[in-house]
Amino acid sequence: MADWKAKRFWKAASVTEADGGFAVELDGRGVKTPAKQPLRVPTRAMAHAIAIEWDSQVDIINPNTMPVTKTANAAIDKVSVQHAEVADMLAAYGDSDLLCYRADTPEELVARQNAIWNPMLDWAAEVLAVRLETRTGIMHQPQDDDAIKKLYQRTHALNAFELAAFHDLVSLSGSLVLGFAATLDAKPAIDLWTISRLDELWQEEQWGEDEDATALAVLKRDAFIHAKHMFDLSQAE
């Protein structure tokens, strides 16, 4: 029984309107989440992307080739039932945002952090109306309470599907600012991902590339790009 794997049992996946959103059906039967909830998503574009994933299964169902389905399942089964807790956890990144903690040496790294990260903090001040202050070193220093409150309010305003995608944008980059920058199209997602890896890329320049670390970074990059795609699907027509 340990080798048992689910096989394709349907001929075609389709999209239907349901309960103010959209559902995916397999030969007319609605898809359910792992927690046995109806798979209902907010936009037709997301439902269409899910249907494509199901139709792309050939024989054995492979969840690893169904990222939109997996994220939608997480939004329904996990995020929707603990929305406040997830929003609190992500908003807390604002008080220890990656972009705020700077090196004091060497001068070249300090200059690079200032040149690449300062514009993103300026963007947050202009667009999010939040000015986060930089710190030298890794010891935590709290940000202004009013700034953090604004970030909490903005994070809690996201719906379950947006928040599920936002979770990965923030946790993978280590930055609430970069997460919001992705959702608001401040820069292409791949550029924001590169910005988040400034320190790692600097280390690679100094000491050479580590194959395992690079392979892991590629997986995280792809997950970050997917999260941006998922956020866009949650707001599509």
Domain with CATH 1.10.3580.10 in the chain: 83-235
From the list 88, 225, 101, the residue with the least C-alpha distance to 175 is 101
Q: Please state, as a whole number, how many other Cβ atoms lie within 10 Å of the Cβ of residue 99.
A: 25
Six-digit token string for 110: 């300090």
CATH 3.40.640.10, applies to 13-69: no
pTM of the complete model: 0.94
Domain with CATH 3.30.2180.10 in the chain: 13-69
CATH topology classification for 83-235: ATP12-like fold (1.10.3580)
Q: Whole-angstrom Cα distance, residue 44 to residue 80?
A: 19
From the list 218, 224, 173, 176, the residue with the least C-alpha distance to 198 is 173
pLDDT string in tens for the chain (237-residue length): 345 468 888 899 999 999 889 999 999 999 999 999 999 999 999 999 999 999 999 889 999 999 999 999 999 999 999 999 999 999 999 999 999 999 999 999 999 999 999 999 999 999 999 999 999 988 889 999 999 999 999 999 999 999 999 999 999 999 999 999 999 999 999 999 999 999 999 999 998 888 899 999 999 999 999 999 999 999 987
Q: Whole-angstrom Cα distance, residue 24 to residue 95?
A: 39
